[in-house]
Structure 1
Amino acid sequence: MSADPVSADPVSAAPVIVAPVIVAARRTPIATRGRGLAGVTVDRLAAPVLRALLRDGMDAMPAAHASTPIADVVLGNCMGPGGNPARVAALLAGLGQEVPGATVDRQCGSGLAAIVDAATAIRAGDERARIAGGVESASTAPVRSIDGVPYDRAPFAPTGFPDPGMTEAAEHLAAADGISRERQDAYAMRSRRLAAAAAARGRFDAELVDLEGVALDELVGASAADERAMARFRPLFDGGTLTGGNSCRVSDGAAGVLVVPGGASIAAGVPGLALRAHAIVGCDPALPGVGAAPAILEALARAGRGIADVTAFEIVEAFAAQTIAVLERIGIADDDERVCGDGGALAIGHPWGASGAVAVVRLFSRLVRSGAPTGTIGVAAASVGGGMGVAAVFEVVR
């Protein structure tokens, strides 16, 4: 395995800091809200993933695992019951009462932000392994209210700022960018066909953790991949272009990774994804769907890389229109084979707080499990409600 020191000063003999490395990545199957995983709470969704990551880590790095216990569990979550689901899931998973937990809410970027937070703690000098990721049970999310009046979501922005819901914002973005329904449908069908082909080849098998009798992603291979079925979806807004076919399904699921110090993975000879750079940015809250674009460009600049250097992109596909708008802004065609090469959230589903972590799990499978060589670059990114974007640049190390 090779390693790229992040910083070294030979004059002052400052310590060399080695990038944190993801050495294991797992997720649950993803199911549409109210269906296959409808009765599974966030802690019960996340716990099997945590246990699987712990087993994978022990198998890959037995000596390192014995001497470096899990320092923390950091999970993204948007609409759960509160009470720090990461800590509850860690206890349920049997990690031990001494392992703490922290829950991150950066909306649809929560799972990726949690992974960045865990890696940053290691980079800062706490050289203990961490489990990070995200979880969402839209099916069991509590009803929230103010003075007894229920509401669907908390504000993404204060009074005086635009505060559209993500679906409304995606419709506005499609109109502003002139993205036709036909183009959106074509992108959504591409995602579904890629996912169906990937599932048939067993591309998801190694990353999946069976849960409550559900072993496969619920939507993969659904009839919406058929062009005639896609055309039958009605617009979500009068005169609009967004439909149920070119928008994601709100879903339940969990995903996570095991992050270790780069030195430990090098010593063990374990391949993984080294976090080279990340960016979290703000953008116009009226058009939050484009947030991933400036985040990707900034993260790549911090890593000293460009779009052409990237072998695999995993961008959370909340809506076809939103994903196309992001791709246009970073100079990538709709059908670029590097983007969500096994399908994305349009095909698999979008468990809000978990989706950013699902993107990293998918990168791990596409690059590390597939045998991509050392130095291969991957990017995970998500646009976030309220006008934000989060992105991370990873490099294969072996």
Structure 2
Amino acid sequence: MAGQAPARQAALKAGLEISTPCTTVNKVCASGMKSIMLAASSIALGHQDVICAGGMESMSNVPFYLPRKEPSYGGVKLVDAIVHDGLWDVYNQFHMGNCGENTAKVQQITREQQDEYAAMSYERSQNAAKKGIFDKEIVPVVIESKKSNTTVDKDEEYARVDLSKFPKLKPAFVKESGTITAANASTLNDGAAAAILSSADFAHKHSLKPLAKIIAYADGACKPIDFPIAPVLAINKLLKMTGVKTSEVDIWEINEAFSVVALANIKLLNLDKEKHVRSSNNKHVGAASGEGTKGSGGNLQWRRRSLGHNGRGSLI
């Protein structure tokens, strides 16, 4: 329940000038990435010299809806806004998880493969956290209360997972033969990420050393039920646009509301799973955003951890 114009609220509460223009983007999962793309376009056109862009979501604060009309006898049904506005395929009238199940069936991706990928993702996060890889990119958040204040300076999810429970969990969307569970799907989270973009002239003038250069970006769209493979369309468009081959990209980061999303894209693009979010040594950088009717409330964010590697090439 952020209220009106959340991007404007974030800018002013961060101490930016009152004259700072702000724009809120809603492209559900891809909102944060789209804000990066729009910022890059604005800078390329010479409209701005420097822009802060990113994404934010607080799913713990998403409200329940009540009908505006006079309630009927027998009570009123509450509507969960997380599902209604973020996780519901309005074209097929079922949960986005059912779209993921369809992709798993079409691409022949098993429950075991999804659990294995999810466990690997958790283990990578745990190992990276132990090595302090995330320390420089996390801004501590102080949660105030009447009794005491709590400082959150680490991601919470990877620390509380029990990998031994993965095989025991029941399917979340298709009872009998389902492959997607609470373990191999993303959890409900609060979080935010942002990056500063500038023109080369601005960076040079202010003696700033860029983390990366955005060469190109692309969108892709497909049937709503096929949203898990939409990144393939955007990525292929981007590679064609730049003349870059998949073998020349060392870091791949694909938004994964469900493990099946990453696995399907890895399969269709014939990628090396070990290179999916790893350090790199090549020269190509791009940003791709795929869109079917994706929904997790606008929380695909610019992933600075990919740019923070020692290498020089990534596709996000």
TM-score range, shorter chain: 0.7 to 0.9
1:305 aligned residue (218, 231, 244): 244
Secondary structure of residue in 2 paired with 1:243: coil
1:156–1:216 CA distance, 2 compared to 1 (3 A): closer
Q: Residue in 1 aligned with 2:218?
A: 279
1:241 aligned residue (139, 157, 179): 179
Do structure 1's residue 340 and structure 2's residue 285 form an aligned pair?
no
1:166–1:295 CA distance, 2 compared to 1 (3 A): same
Which amino acid is 2:237 matched to? E
Q: Residue in 1 aligned with 2:197?
A: 259
Contact 1:132 1:257 in 2 (8 A): yes
Which amino acid is 2:306 matched to? L
Unaligned residue ranges in structure 2 (runs of 5+):
70-76, 143-150, 280-294
Following TM superposition, by how much is the alpha carbon of 1:315 offset from its aligned partner in structure 2, in angstroms? 1.1
1:101–1:246 CA distance, 2 compared to 1 (3 A): same
Q: Residue in 1 aligned with 2:254?
A: 315
Deviation per CA, 1:157-190: give whole Å up to 9, x if none: 997x435422121112112221111111111111
Deviation per CA, 1:124-167: give whole Å up to 9, x if none: 112421100000011112333554564332499997x4354221
1:269–1:140 CA distance, 2 compared to 1 (3 A): closer
Do structure 1's residue 153 and structure 2's residue 96 form an aligned pair?
no
Q: Residue in 2 aligned with 1:364?
A: 307
Q: Partners of 1:246 and 1:157 in 2: how far apart?
A: 19
1:142–1:241 CA distance, 2 compared to 1 (3 A): same
Q: Partners of 1:278 and 1:125 in 2: how far apart?
A: 18
Summarize the alignment of residues 14-163 of structure 1 with structure 2, pairs less than 5 Å apart.
81-147=2-68, 150-151=78-79, 152-154=83-85, 161-163=91-93
Q: Residue in 1 aligned with 2:145?
A: none
Following TM superposition, by how much is the alpha carbon of 1:120 offset from its aligned partner in structure 2, in angstroms? 0.5
Deviation per CA, 1:241-265: give whole Å up to 9, x if none: 1111111101100100000002222
Contact 2:55 2:192 in 1 (8 A): yes
Do structure 1's residue 177 and structure 2's residue 107 form an aligned pair?
yes
Q: Partners of 1:280 and 1:206 in 2: how far apart?
A: 30
1:299–1:329 CA distance, 2 compared to 1 (3 A): same
Unaligned residue ranges in structure 1 (runs of 5+):
1-79, 343-349, 381-398
Which amino acid is 1:306 matched to? K
Q: How many corresponding residue pairs?
A: 280
Q: Partners of 1:326 and 1:145 in 2: how far apart?
A: 38
Following TM superposition, by how much is the alpha carbon of 1:285 offset from its aligned partner in structure 2, in angstroms? 0.8
Which amino acid is 1:153 matched to? H
Q: Partners of 1:158 and 1:178 in 2: how far apart?
A: 22
Q: Residue in 1 aligned with 2:300?
A: 355
Give the alignment's TM-score, normalised by structure 1: 0.66
Q: Residue in 1 aligned with 2:314?
A: 378
Give the alignment's TM-score, normalised by structure 2: 0.82
Following TM superposition, by how much is the alpha carbon of 1:362 offset from its aligned partner in structure 2, in angstroms? 2.0
Q: Partners of 1:252 and 1:173 in 2: how far apart?
A: 27
Following TM superposition, by how much is the alpha carbon of 1:340 offset from its aligned partner in structure 2, in angstroms? 2.6
Which amino acid is 1:185 matched to? D
1:229 aligned residue (158, 162, 165): 165
The percentage of aligned residue pairs carrying the same residue is: 28
More strand per residue: 1 or 2?
1
Q: Residue in 2 aligned with 1:63?
A: none
Q: Partners of 2:121 and 2:259 in 1: how far apart?
A: 9
1:195 aligned residue (125, 148, 151): 125
Which amino acid is 1:325 matched to? A
Which amino acid is 1:317 matched to? E
Q: Partners of 2:67 and 2:157 in 1: how far apart?
A: 35
Q: Partners of 2:230 and 2:27 in 1: how far apart?
A: 13
